[in-house]
């Protein structure tokens, strides 16, 4: 009897008699359809988790950009004020 095993996101047919121990692991299925659906579902979960993590990282980067722009503007204001007061400042306005 053939069963289907999902391993490393691929589906392969295996002989039930020689793989009885694998049947209870959770990565072996009675039908090819079940095996494919399970493999696809597993990959979907990984993709969803990675998309969520990516969105979180992008929000953090945007927050950091806002913070950086705030401090650059403050720095530029101080440079302008210093120059208006005839204080020699070598820094350039960004």
Residue 25 confidence class, pLDDT cut points 50, 70, 90: low
Mean pLDDT of all residues belonging to the chain: 85
Mean pLDDT of 25-53: 89
CA–CA separation, 76 and 60 (whole Å) = 24
Residues with Cβ < 8 Å from 24, sequence gap 6 or more? none
Residue 22 within any structural domain of the chain: yes
Closest C-alpha to 2, from 11, 17, 70: 17
**56 domain-assigned:** yes
Between CA 18 and CA 65 the distance in angstroms is: 58
Residue 94 placed within a domain: no
Confidence of residue 41 (pLDDT cuts 50, 70, 90): very high
Domains in the chain: how many in total? 1
pLDDT value at residue 46: 94
Range of the domain at 40: 2-84
Residue 26 lies in a domain: yes
For residue 35, is it within any domain? yes
- Cβ-count burial 33-67 (b if 16+ within 10 Å, e if not): eebeebbeeeeeeeeeeeeeeeeeeeeeeeeeeee
Task: Please tell me the pTM assigned to this model.
Answer: 0.60
């Amino acid at each position: 009897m053939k069963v289907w095993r999902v391993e490393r996101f691929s589906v392969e047919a295996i002989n039930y008699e020689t793989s009885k121990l694998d049947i209870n692991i959770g990565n072996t299925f009675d039908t090819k359809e079940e095996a494919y659906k399970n493999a696809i579902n597993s990959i979907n979960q990984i993709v969803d988790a990675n998309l969520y993590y990516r969105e979180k990282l992008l929000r953090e980067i945007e927050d950091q950009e806002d913070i950086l722009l705030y401090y650059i503007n403050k720095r530029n204001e101080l440079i302008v004020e210093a120059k208006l007061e005839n204080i020699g400042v070598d820094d350039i306005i960004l």
